[in-house]
Amino acid sequence: MQEDRGDPVNLALCLDGLPAGDLPAIAAEAERRGFQKVLAAETAGVEPFVACAAMAAATRSILVGTGIAGIHGRSAASIAMAAASLAALSGGRFVLGLGLQSREVVEELHGTTYGGLGAMRETIHVVRRLLAGETVTFHGQAVGIEGRRLAFPPRVPVPIHVGALGPRMLELCGEVADGLLGWFCSRSFLDQIVRPRLDAAARQRGRSLAGFDLTWMLPALVSDDRGARDLMRPYVATYLTTGWPSYDRVAEASGFGPAAAELRRRLHHAPHFDEVAKAVSEEMLDAFTLCGSAGDVRAGIERLRGIGVTTLCLFPIPPGQFYPLFPGHFPASLAVSPTDLGGLRRNVAAILGGGLV
């Protein structure tokens, strides 16, 4: 991937865990503060396309997008219709971010079959053709459509970004996507794994990555609390204890393989999650997050400018949050506190008011 280390990084905001009614005002304030993009994540809260419609209606210039929308709970046609509608409503400001989500989310929340890499490849193929105004017939392993087209395809192409960490998904992204959404990774992982995989796949396809949007998504917590960094440790521990191959590869490439293994060992013996979180080092916090006072976070952003990342996306978290990512992730005896919605709102306000742009 061609890097231009002289260009400043764009700043984006990715929102999750907030009620739908909060989103228009946050998007409008992000636009006023100079953020270039605002994304809606998908877990079990606000439907991301609905969130984008609300944010687009409240803004005039900022890009809005899904970051990400899962492909398994929707047909390719429904994704294309939503993307075309949002492109029209936003005046061409919509970015379609797609992801697989985890097998547990797909099977337990959506009650459907996990299709993996093949499903993503087929979905992008069909969605892109529909958005181009084509009449599409396609019979794949996971996606099917018979002689259908959109009544109102977008006037300009909708960028398609893909959430990817695994090697094969990174290669698919380099082959067919317009951008990458890289969640919970480090600069070392970006340099050692992400860029080489994207570059190799693009070269094999004979494709240029000029204009490709490499987005680095980082958990963010802005607070003047002296213990602000301690309030980020549980979140980092949550992701480094999953034992999933993608996050294990991230930990290894980032130099934290043994440390992640120690976190998992603690998790199975700790009476409280604090015993796990306190083992998250300062180096881990610096590698995977932006946290501390507004001045600390501004300094962190400045250190990341000019490293070849197109967009730095801040993902506000509730202070002190930890939660199981799948059944069995945490021991049954480990109590999990409810989400601190007030703390999340204060964090979003601090990020917007922190003069980060």
Alpha helices in the chain (DSSP H): 23-33, 48-57, 76-90, 103-108, 116-131, 167-176, 187-189, 195-205, 233-240, 245-253, 257-267, 274-277, 282-288, 294-304, 341-352
Cα angle at 205 between 199 and 206, to 5 degrees?
85
269's CB contacts (< 8 A; 6+ apart) are none
Q: What are phi and psi of 211, to 5 degrees?
A: 85, 0
Amino acid at 214: L
Supply the pLDDT for residue 4. 44
Rg over alpha carbons for the chain, rounded to the nearest Å, is: 20
258's CB contacts (< 8 A; 6+ apart) are none
Supply the pLDDT for residue 8. 66
Through-space distance between the first and last CA atoms of the chain, rounded to whole angstroms: 25
**b/e code 107-125 from CB counts within 10 Å (16+ = b):** eeeeeeebbbeebbbbbbb
Supply the pLDDT for residue 3. 46
Helix %, strand %, coil % of the chain (to 5): 45, 15, 40
Distance CA 320, CA 335 (A): 14
Supply the pLDDT for residue 110. 78
* Domains (range + CATH), the chain: 10-227+290-352 (3.20.20.30)
Residues of the chain with pLDDT under 70: 1-8
Supply the pLDDT for residue 307. 85
SS3 268: coil
Supply the pLDDT for residue 290. 97
In this structure, the strands spanning 290-292 and 160-163 are unpaired
Residue pair 4/308 in contact (Cβ under 8 Å)? The answer is yes
CB atoms within 10 A of CB 93: 19
Residue pair 90/58 in contact (Cβ under 8 Å)? The answer is no
Whole-angstrom CA distances from 247 to 76, 81, 108, 134, 253 are: 28, 33, 21, 38, 10
Q: Residue 15 forms beta bridges with which residues?
A: 40
Closest CA to 292 of 235, 339, 219, 227: 227
